[in-house]
Amino acid sequence: MAEFCLDFWNTLNGFDDPQESYVMSWGIELCEGCGEWKRVVIRKRKHYLVRCFINRLCKRKK
């Protein structure tokens, strides 16, 4: 499986997703897109948008 840093991943797919919406590698690995040593995307977090919505609702109630 190809390993891409978040910047290259967003450029490749036309996204503008924040880092919080992905599970990132712990260590620094070689991005196969840009060739730089960075943390790479492992997978997309499940239910990220639902969590963001719930967090915003909870902050409004305070």
Question: What ranges do the domains of the chain cover?
Answer: 6-61
Q: Is 1 exposed, middle or buried (0-12, 13-18, 19+ CB in 10 A)?
A: exposed
In 1-62, where do the E strands start and end? 22-24, 29-30, 37-38, 41-44
Check whether 7 has a pLDDT greater than 80: yes
Q: Which residue has the higher pLDDT, 8 or 55?
A: 8
pLDDT at 62 over 60: no
The pLDDT, as a whole number, for residue 12 is 95
pLDDT digits (tens, 9 = 90+) for 36-60: 999 999 998 877 667 677 777 676 6
Q: What is the pLDDT of residue 28?
A: 96
Rounded mean pLDDT, 22-47: 93
